């Protein structure tokens, strides 16, 4: 098995500025463009953890409650929360800043993406376990199992009856 790695070793931060070509007709950042940036940032985090080629396996629900505006600076932070066999869950947090209006940092989006490490032929390959240090890392690590079970149930890859961790959580 590959050598375990700390969460911080996968930490990846990406900064973008919203330009006219990134926006919709209301001059706000298009959701698809943001998802593209999140996917790249999260893939880099998963590559740092696994030292492998990775592919996006799933994207958990992303809510677009806050608009990000033309000219805003967008910061995306991604880190691996937990590794399973070949798959890794990546936590992504997005914030936006209008620097000319004071630069207040607004947390706008949060999501979990799942990546799978693959070999040169695209076959899944084992990844290193994650070592957690902080209380937040520990909480994300523990809750990752029920999120994995939920996404595998929704993808038709796990029978609801076998999603024991998820069932225990829902029955609390």
Ligand X SMILES: CC(C)(COP(=O)(O)OP(=O)(O)OC[C@H]1O[C@@H](n2cnc3c(N)ncnc32)[C@H](O)[C@@H]1OP(=O)(O)O)[C@@H](O)C(=O)NCCC(=O)NCCS
Q: Which residues bind ligand X (CB under 6 A)?
A: 55-58, 84-87, 114, 116, 118, 122, 124, 151-152, 155, 157
Which residue lies nearer to ligand X by CB, 122 or 134?
A: 122
The least CB distance from residue 127 to ligand X, in Å, is: 8
Residue 114 class from Cβ within 10 Å (0-12 exposed, 13-18 middle, 19+ buried)? buried
The Cβ of residue 146 has, within 10 Å, a number of other Cβ atoms equal to 17
- Torsion, Cα of 17, 22, 24, 26 (10° steps): 20
Of the pair 70, 131, the CB lying nearest ligand X is at 131
Please name the residue that has the structure tokens 């936590």: 91
The DSSP string of 134-153 is SHHHHHHHHHHHHHHHHHHH
CB of residue 62 to ligand X, shortest distance in Å: 15
- Cβ closest to ligand X, residue 107 vs residue 123: 123
**Distance in Å, CB of 117 to ligand X, minimum:** 9
Minimum CB distance to ligand X smaller for 40 or for 67? 40
Beta carbon nearer to ligand X, 7 or 88: 88
């Amino acid at each position: 098995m590959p050598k375990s790695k700390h969460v911080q070793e996968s930490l990846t931060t990406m900064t973008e500025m919203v330009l006219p070509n990134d926006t919709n007709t209301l001059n706000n950042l298009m959701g698809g463009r943001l998802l593209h940036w999140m996917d790249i940032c999260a893939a880099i985090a998963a590559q740092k953890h696994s030292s492998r080629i990775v592919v996006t396996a799933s994207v958990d629900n992303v809510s677009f409650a806050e608009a990000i505006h033309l000219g805003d600076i967008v910061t995306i932070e991604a880190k691996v929360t937990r590794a399973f066999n070949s798959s890794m869950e990546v936590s992504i947090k997005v914030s936006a800043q209008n620097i000319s209006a004071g630069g207040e940092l607004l947390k706008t989006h949060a999501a979990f993406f799942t990546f799978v490490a693959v070999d040169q032929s695209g076959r899944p390959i084992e990844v290193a376990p994650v070592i957690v240090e902080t209380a937040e890392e520990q909480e994300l690590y523990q809750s990752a199992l029920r999120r994995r079970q939920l996404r595998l149930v929704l993808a038709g890859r796990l029978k609801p009856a076998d999603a024991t961790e998820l069932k225990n959580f829902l029955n609390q």
